Amino acid sequence: MSAVKVLGHALLVLLLTLLTQLGGIAWLLALFFRRRLAAFVGLYIVLSLSAVWVAPMFGRTALSCFDAGPLQVQSPLYCALNRTYVTPEMKGLLQDVAVRMERRHPGTVTLVLDASFPFFDGFPLLPHLSHDDGEKADLAFFYRDGSGYLPGAVRSPIGYFAFEPGPTDCPARAADLRWDLPFLQPFWRALDLDRDRTRDLLQALAEDDRTGKILIEPHLVQTLGASHPKLRFQGCRAARHDDHIHVQL
Tens-digit pLDDT profile for residues 79-106? 999 999 999 999 999 999 999 999 999 9
Sign (positive or negative) of CA dihedral 163, 180, 233, 96 = positive
pLDDT for the residue 174? 55
In the chain, domain spans: 3-56, 59-166+175-248
Q: Other CB atoms closer than 10 Å to residue 205's CB: what's the count? A: 23
Query: Which of 111-115, 194-198, 209-213, 231-235 has the weakest average pLDDT?
Result: 231-235
pLDDT at 176 > cutoff 80: no
CA atoms within 13 A on the CB side of 217: 21
- For the beta sheet containing 148-149, the strands, ordered from the edge strand earlier in sequence to the opposite edge, are 148-149, 143-145, 192-193
**With a threshold of 0.85, does the pTM exceed it?**
yes
pLDDT for the residue 244? 97
pLDDT band with cut points at 50, 70 and 90 for residue 170: confident
**CA 154/CA 144 separation, integer angstroms:** 9
| Domain 59-166+175-248 -> CATH class | alpha beta
Helix locations, 152-215, DSSP H: 195-207
pLDDT band with cut points at 50, 70 and 90 for residue 175: low
**CA 238/CA 240 separation, integer angstroms:** 7
